[in-house]
């Protein structure tokens, strides 16, 4: 690649996937411009799971080792019933994750870029206005305008049947647990910054629930660790939203446009892989663009990532159904408990 006339990439969206792609492409000699409509990086956000593949993506982007220093390594956890009785202990996990909240991860990614790479407060130009770029990367999230532009509105995400709350409380924990009841779940996990992260989800019609009073009412009789989270939460910090997932796209590329992250494969959070897969998308795409002509790189990216991530969308939905099952829960618990002892 000529250093006098580097290839140019427009990245539409300055979130985790977009900034991972930007770092990797810049390191390969590309000229990169990131368009982000927000005025700056978000100051708050809940914990994300960075699995080994995501940590490898950071290494490829030249940022290896930094997330591990900022986050919390999680090797074990517990599955519990709503009353606190144990379903299974998950000890010495072979594939441990680093738990890191969104703000420090985004700051880490942004700090790796030249200062003029990200244009904050700048809505993405329309695709016809991006004709001067060699590739356009749609990293604009679950409500992706890029996806709408290239594939139409029929591929917009659909409601999963679950609504969720997320937040954090002061004080650290080294314990990770997820508690299950018919139609609902509640999770507690470590978080950087001497905080504890929590999340909850229930089966519900779309746009039918919300607010801290309802959250407390739904979980007020659960085991003491859950009630403690409810008593200590700060209502203004609680995030509530319905959960959506992407229908399967026929391709993640069209022309010189590629979709990554939630723009391509939004999924329920039950596997904890949304941020991870966005970073892997970004890394795979950027490496292929550095090694192959654009058209070939985009086709290779689609073959490498589409089927795998669409399987994860289905698996996340399936796990949500298992965790919140309303029938045969005793048999489910017994099977999971037995399987955990064999792992």
Say if CB 82 and CB 324 are below 8 A apart.
Answer: no
* pTM reported for the whole predicted model: 0.94
Residue 100 β-bridge partners? 48
How far is Cα 223 from Cα 225, in angstroms, rounded to an integer?
6
What tens digit of pLDDT does each residue of 43-90 get? 999 999 999 999 999 999 999 999 999 999 887 889 999 999 999 998
Asked whether residue 311 is domain-assigned, the answer is yes
Q: Which domain holds residue 148?
A: 8-47+102-158+246-322
Asked whether residue 214 is domain-assigned, the answer is no
Asked whether residue 258 is domain-assigned, the answer is yes
pLDDT at residue number 3: 44
DSSP-derived secondary structure for 299-323: HHHHHHHHHHHHHHHHHHHHHHHHH
Asked whether residue 217 is domain-assigned, the answer is no
Asked whether residue 253 is domain-assigned, the answer is yes
Say if CB 135 and CB 211 are below 8 A apart.
Answer: no
Asked whether residue 221 is domain-assigned, the answer is no
Say if CB 229 and CB 215 are below 8 A apart.
Answer: no
Asked whether residue 230 is domain-assigned, the answer is no
What CATH number should be reported for the domain holding residue 24?
3.50.50.60
Per-residue pLDDT of the chain (343 residues; tens, 9 = 90+): 444 578 999 999 999 999 999 999 999 999 999 999 999 999 999 999 999 999 999 999 999 999 999 999 887 889 999 999 999 998 755 568 899 999 999 999 999 999 999 999 999 999 999 999 999 999 999 999 999 999 999 999 999 999 999 999 999 998 899 999 999 999 999 999 999 999 999 999 999 877 899 999 999 999 999 999 999 999 999 999 999 999 999 999 999 999 999 999 999 999 999 999 999 999 999 999 999 999 999 999 999 999 999 999 999 999 999 999 999 999 999 999 998 887 6
Q: Detail the DSSP E strand segments found in 124-172.
A: 135-138, 158-170
| CA angle 166–142–259, rounded 5-degree value | 135
Asked whether residue 154 is domain-assigned, the answer is yes
Domain total in the chain: 1
């Amino acid at each position: 690649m000529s250093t006098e006339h580097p290839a140019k990439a427009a990245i539409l969206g300055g979130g985790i996937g977009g900034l991972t792609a930007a770092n990797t492409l810049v390191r390969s000699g590309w000229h990169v411009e990131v368009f982000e409509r927000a005025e700056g990086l978000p100051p708050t956000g809940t914990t994300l799971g960075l699995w080994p593949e995501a940590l490898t993506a950071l290494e490829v982007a030249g940022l290896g080792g930094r997330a591990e220093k900022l986050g919390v390594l999680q090797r074990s956890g517990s599955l519990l019933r709503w009353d606190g009785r144990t379903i299974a202990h998950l000890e010495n996990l072979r594939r441990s994750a680093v738990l890191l909240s969104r703000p420090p991860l985004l700051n880490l990614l942004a700090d790796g870029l030249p200062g003029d790479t990200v244009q904050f407060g700048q809505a993405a130009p329309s695709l016809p206005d991006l004709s001067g770029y060699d590739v356009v990367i749609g990293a604009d999230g679950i409500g992706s305008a890029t996806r709408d532009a290239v594939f139409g509105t029929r591929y917009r995400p659909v409601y999963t049947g679950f609504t969720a709350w997320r937040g954090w409380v002061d004080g650290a924990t080294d314990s990770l647990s997820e508690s299950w009841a018919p139609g609902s779940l509640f999770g507690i996990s470590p978080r950087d910054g001497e905080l504890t992260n929590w999340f909850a989800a229930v089966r519900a019609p779309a746009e039918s629930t919300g607010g801290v009073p309802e959250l407390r009412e739904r979980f007020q009789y659960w085991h003491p660790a859950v009630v403690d989270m409810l008593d200590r939460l700060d209502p203004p910090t609680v995030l509530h939203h319905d959960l959506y997932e992407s229908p399967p796209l026929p391709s993640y590329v069209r022309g010189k446009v590629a979709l990554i992250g939630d723009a391509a494969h939004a999924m329920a959070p039950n596997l904890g892989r949304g941020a991870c897969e966005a970073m892997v998308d970004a890394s795979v795409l950027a490496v292929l663009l550095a090694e192959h002509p654009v058209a070939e790189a985009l086709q290779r990216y689609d073959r490498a990532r589409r089927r795998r991530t669409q399987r994860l969308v289905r698996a996340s939905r399936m796990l949500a159904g298992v965790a919140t099952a309303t029938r045969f829960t005793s048999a489910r618990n017994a099977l999971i408990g037995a399987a955990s002892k064999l792992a």
